[in-house]
């Protein structure tokens, strides 16, 4: 049975009820399905994508969530796309260890899938993301990420766009402010910048973006893709070195990572960027999101951004 989108009458937001995904495997103990010869990778590959076998969103007749909500419809089939992106055939590698040339190939694949999903017409928003580490629910260690294609622009993207609609390119202004201050900047090659945000909601949270506005991954030219690969490789390698050697640290540094980019229907405020959010506050210690934070929508970050940046710059 496919999942369904249900409209929450209190918030007006759609929730994906995906009961069918409860049966998917947890940390398989047999052969890795992503290694060459495995279930999802029968042929040799360098990078690879394929549709998720347990999709949270499935291709089908397009759904119009705005029309549905206006007409009082509260349930829709969970239409869209759910894909898996394999970064490398090497099982024990991580995106940060792959090297800039291989990360660049992953960037090309992200861009190609973004273009392909927007060309379908039933996808309004493409979210490229990765949940790394058992702490954040990754069920297979092989280096991989995912892509969801939503039939609507999801709330986290809407919030940022609304803010930019009223204040201009807020991201470009943030980058200028961070470069002027300098204390939280981790990477700057003149084109791409990585920094710990002034008001980071996450301990060791990082943003990565091009100084000049580019709307989507598939809009990046060759130089832009090189720059993204360098910036991302630099930051992920810092994460991998951050608590290395600490006996309490997780063997794999866990993080959440997601791109925000322009929806299918673009606006001139859309500015591609990447969010990185580690779930831990110190080696092996999860930062739980507390009731006061969920209840208020106001996060409390126990690690001061300047201190996080200082240690990330030093490793």
Residues forming the site for Zn ion (CB under 5 A): 32, 34-35, 91, 142, 160, 260
Spatial distance between the Cα atoms of 109 and 132, rounded to a whole number of angstroms: 19
C-beta of 225 vs 271, nearer to Zn ion = 271
C-beta of 236 vs 277, nearer to Zn ion = 277
Taking CB atoms, the residue at the shortest distance from Zn ion is: 32
Give the number of C-alpha atoms closer than 13 A to the C-alpha of residue 248, restricted to the C-beta side.
Answer: 7
36 and 44 Cβ atoms separated by less than 8 Å: yes
C-beta of 3 vs 89, nearer to Zn ion = 89
Of 60, 16, 20, 52, the residue nearest 34 (C-alpha): 52
The nearest distance, CB 302 to Zn ion, in angstroms, is 22
Spatial distance between the Cα atoms of 269 and 169, rounded to a whole number of angstroms: 6
The nearest distance, CB 246 to Zn ion, in angstroms, is 26
The nearest distance, CB 63 to Zn ion, in angstroms, is 25
Q: Is-catalytic flag, 144?
A: yes
**285 φ, ψ to 5°?**
-105, 115
C-beta of 35 vs 237, nearer to Zn ion = 35
The nearest distance, CB 142 to Zn ion, in angstroms, is 3
Spatial distance between the Cα atoms of 223 and 35, rounded to a whole number of angstroms: 31
Spatial distance between the Cα atoms of 157 and 97, rounded to a whole number of angstroms: 29
Residues 6 or more apart from 56 whose CB is under 8 A from it? 3, 16, 18, 21, 78, 82, 148
Q: From the candidates 141, 142, 144, 271, give the one annotated as an active-site residue.
A: 144
Give me the active site residues, please.
144
């Amino acid at each position: 049975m496919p999942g369904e989108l249900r409209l929450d009458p209190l918030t007006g937001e759609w929730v994906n009820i995906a009961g069918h995904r409860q049966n998917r495997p947890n940390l398989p103990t047999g052969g890795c399905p992503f290694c060459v010869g495995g279930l999802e990778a029968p042929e040799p590959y360098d990078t690879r994508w394929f549709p998720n076998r347990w999709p949270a969103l499935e291709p089908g007749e397009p759904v119009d969530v705005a029309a549905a909500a206006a007409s009082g419809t509260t349930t829709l089939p969970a239409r869209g796309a759910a894909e898996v992106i394999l970064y490398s055939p090497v099982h024990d590698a991580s995106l940060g260890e792959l090297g800039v040339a291989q990360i660049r190939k992953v960037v090309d694949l992200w861009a190609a899938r973004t273009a392909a999903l927007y060309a379908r017409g039933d996808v309004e928003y493409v979210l490229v993301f990765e949940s790394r580490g058992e702490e954040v629910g990754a069920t297979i260690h092989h280096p991989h990420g995912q892509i969801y294609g939503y039939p609507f622009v999801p709330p986290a993207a809407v919030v940022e766009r609304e803010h930019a609609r009223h204040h201009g390119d807020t991201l470009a202004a943030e980058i200028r402010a961070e470069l002027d201050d300098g204390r939280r900047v981790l990477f700057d090659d003149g084109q791409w910048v990585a920094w710990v945000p002034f008001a980071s909601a996450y301990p060791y949270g990082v943003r990565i973006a091009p100084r000049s506005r580019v709307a989507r991954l598939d809009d990046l030219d060759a130089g832009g893709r090189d720059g993204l690969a360098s910036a991302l490789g630099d930051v992920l390698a810092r994460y991998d070195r951050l608590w290395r050697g600490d006996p309490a640290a997780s063997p794999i540094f866990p993080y959440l990572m997601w791109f925000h980019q322009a929806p299918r229907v673009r606006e001139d405020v859309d500015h591609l960027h990447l969010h990185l959010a580690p779930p831990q506050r110190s080696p092996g210690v999860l930062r739980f999101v507390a009731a006061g934070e969920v209840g208020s929508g106001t996060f409390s970050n126990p690690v001061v951004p300047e201190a996080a940046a200082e240690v990330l710059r030093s490793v």
